[in-house]
Structure 1
Amino acid sequence: MTETITIRLPEKLQQELETVVKREKTSKSEIIRDAVSRYLAVKRFKQLRKQVLPFAEAEGLLTDEDVFKAIS
């Protein structure tokens, strides 16, 4: 199921979108779907990170290097 959504973009953003559409031979809808999907993925990641951070800190996993050492 799909839903039509109307959005308002500042002129400069709209021009940039048009440029990308022409260059990549795609549609505005496809670019916007991709952007929304990526935005939501980042939000989910940040929420999950926030949930597991206390457990990681309790194990002394404070940096990416700490995590890498723990799993290597």
Structure 2
Amino acid sequence: MTETITIRLPEKLQEELEMVVKAEKTSKSEIIRDAITHYLAVKRFHQLRKQVLPFAEAQGLLTDEDIFKTIS
């Protein structure tokens, strides 16, 4: 199921969007869908990180190097 959503963009953002649409030969809808998908993925990542962080800290996994050492 799809839903139509109306949004208001400042003129500068509209102009930038138009430039990307022309350069990538795509639609405004596709660019905006991709942007929302990316935004939601980042939000989910931050949520998961917040949930896992106490466990990771308790295990001494504070950096990428710590994790790499553990799995290597």
**What TM bracket, shorter-length normalisation?**
over 0.9
Residue in 2 that maps onto 1:38 = 38
> Is structure 2 residue 24 aligned with structure 1 residue 24?
yes
Residue in 1 that maps onto 2:49 = 49
**Alignment size in residue pairs:** 72
Q: Deviations over 1:50-72 (max 9, x none)?
A: 00000000000001110111111
Deviation at 1:2, TM superposition (A): 0.2
Matched-pair identity in %: 86
RMSD: 0.4
Counterpart-to-counterpart distance in 2, 1:2 and 1:69: 45
Residue type of the alignment partner of 1:30: E
List structure 1 segments (4+ residues) > 6 angstroms apart after TM superposition: none
Counterpart-to-counterpart distance in 2, 1:62 and 1:68: 11
Give unmatched runs, 5+ long, in structure 2. Answer: none
Give unmatched runs, 5+ long, in structure 1. Answer: none
